[in-house]
Structures are given as structure tokens and as C-alpha cells.
A and B are shown apart, each in its own frame.
Chain A
């Protein structure tokens, strides 16, 4: 896969290295800017409140309160 990309980049070794670095930086930027912020709420690492459910489920949480009490 990476070999294929490398072979299809234009230019000599230095140009290819430069393009590769630009591509890598671009991918990391996309991940940090869009993909990770999107994925984070879906993962169970950063849920700090006692509302009993994901932010989408406040109604359920309020209902649950009665059950727990």
C-alpha cells in the first residue's frame, strides 16, 4: 500500500519525501480536526457528569432518577 503510493509519487527521492511529509501532516490534521472530535463522544472515556445517560438521553436520565430513588 505505502509502497504503491511511493511508486506513484512524482519526482526524485527528495521530492517524494517532501510530498510524503505533507501527506502525513495532512492526514494527522484531518484526524485531529475532524475525526477524533467526532469519535470522542462515542467512546466511554470522557463522560464526567451524573446524568445517567449520554447527552442525547436526558429525558431517559430524568426518568431513571425516579427508578433509582
Chain B
């Protein structure tokens, strides 16, 4: 055994390939057993000799190993199947480690790609499904005449319609925790500044929703212009707001934008306002995008729930 090892080490041309030398055991054993081995090992040794001048400086290079292996394989194909079987072991330990690291890196890349698929597609699928179910339930409650008067806060208080932003009606529920917002809805703030409600005599009805993923209900918030209509639908009333100011970028610490008299909107007196907040630029949460509207009129809901002129 050790004889064979020493012999093959001496025969190997590359000085750094001690790992390879170990695998030379089996052909060496073959030669001890006789048969076609002497001829075989002679042929086997010659290819590395041939390939050595090509890259003598990089004995650790995996590709040169591979090239050498290929030639070895070619040379011994007819003679020794056994040598072919022991081929994978011939790659150095370093090459094996590099291979595993490479596979892990590829795996990490795939996982990150999957995360993008998850956040931009799958969360939308889930949230839209959930929001549609909840929205249907709210409408059923309304149709059945249940719920405490104008307000049913359990499943949602109503629907937001912003024709300039999206054709969907967006269910509005209480709270802006991720748990709520991830259901594909818009939430009205309970903190840090408590939101007013549309039917209040004065106050700021402040809403937040996702820009991307989880329904992405406010994705096209940048399509809203000054003067566009924002309509909030409750069981008995349409509240029609008109956008009067847009703040395309502000810090997330700027909580004054949802004050009852929102700071930065230009308004100085109390009134019936609506504030839409979401993150910007798209796909990030670096800043906040703010849209302010003011109530222009209300309209009673008729039997057919005919939408107000702004939505037609």
C-alpha cells in the first residue's frame, strides 16, 4: 500500500497533488495483481505529463485538474473502468470545498429571487384573496342591514375609491399594524395620531396602505393629481373628497402629516380632511408619500348604491 503510494507520488508530475496521489492506490494495486496494469499505469501517467507544460504554475486549479482527468479518462477508457469510477475522488479537497461554496452561493441567489417573487406576487395573491373575502362580508352585512348604524368596525368601516389611482375599491379597517395592512386593505391610524372618521364634524381621516406587495393598494399613489376625487363609501353615505395637496417625499418620522390639521398641507383651520400615506420610492420604505384631500360634499346612498358622479 505505502509502496504504491510512494511510487505513484514519484510518478505524478504535479508536485502539489498529494490528494491525487492517494487515489493512485487502486491502479497501483492493479499493477501488483498483474494483468494489463503495467501498460495501463504507463498510459495513465503519460497524460498528466503532457498537460503539465500547459499550466505548470497552477497545480491547484480545478479546471486543469478536470482537463487532466479527461485525458486520463480518454487514455484508460478501454483498459480500466475502475480508474473511471474513482475519478470523482481525484478532485482535490480544495476543489470540493469550492464546489460546495459555489452551490451554496447559487442556492442563496435562488432564495433571494424567490423572496422577490414572494413579496411582489405571492403576498398580493394572498392579500387580494383576503381583502375580497372581507369586503364581500362587509357588503353582505350592509345588505342585511346589520352593523351599528353607519359603522361596522369589525370587518371594516367602508371602501375607498380613488379612480385616479386604481379601479378597485379598497376596504378600510381600523389600525395600521402590519397584521392589518397585510390583508390587502387600507388602515386608518390609531397611533401615533388618532385618525378622525369621515362622519366627524371635523378631523383628519388618515389612512395607510402598502405600496408593493400585500395587495399593493396604494401602488399608483403617484398617479393622483391635485383636484382628483377620493370617495369613501360607507353603508349609508358617500363622502367625496378633493385632493388639494401632495407631498411626494417626507421622513417617516414626520408624524405631523396626520395631525387633525395636517402640518405641511397649508391648512390652518380644522376641517374634514383625508390623508393617504404610503412608502416611497416604490419597492422601498425610505420615505413616505402623502396625499391630502378635503371633503367637498356628501351624498346619501340610494337603493341601488348608485356611485356619485366622481366615480362614473
Contact = CB atoms under 8 A, between A and B. Distances in A.
Contact of A68 (B177, B254, B285): B254
A65 B119 contact: no
Contact of B256 (A36, A44, A48, A68): A68
Interface string B197-224: 0000000000011111110001000000
Given A39-B115, A46-B178, A47-B252, A1 B104 contact: yes
B176 interface: yes
A50 B284 CA distance: 14
B308 to A, nearest CB: 28
Contact of A52 (B104, B192, B211, B218): B192
Given A31-B111, A55-B177, A49 B210 contact: no
A26 interface: no
A12 B99 CA distance: 25
A47 B119 CA distance: 13
Contacts of A31: 111, 114-115, 118
B114 A28 contact: yes
A36 B89 CA distance: 38
Contacts of A52: 192, 252-253, 255
Interface string B159-187: 00000000000000000111001000000
A1 B103 contact: yes
Contact of B210 (A28, A46, A50, A61): A46
Interface string B129-145: 00000000000000000
B285 A2 contact: no
A69 B192 CA distance: 13
Contact of B176 (A1, A28, A49): A49
A64 B210 contact: no
Interface string A39-69: 1110011111111100100100110110011
Contacts of A1: 99-100, 103-104
B176 A51 contact: yes
Contacts of B278: 48
B188 to A, nearest CB: 11
B122 interface: yes
A57 B177 CA distance: 12
Contacts of B257: 50
Residue from B103, B114, B191, B255 with most neighbouring chain A CB atoms (10 Å): B255
B115 A36 contact: yes
B234 interface: no
Given A46-B212, A52-B192, A61-B253, 14 more contacts: A28-B114, A46-B119, A46-B214, A48-B181, A48-B277, A50-B257, A51-B191, A52-B253, A52-B255, A61-B191, A65-B193, A65-B255, A68-B253, A68-B255
10 contacts: A32-B114, A36-B119, A48-B277, A48-B285, A50-B250, A50-B253, A50-B257, A50-B277, A52-B192, A61-B253
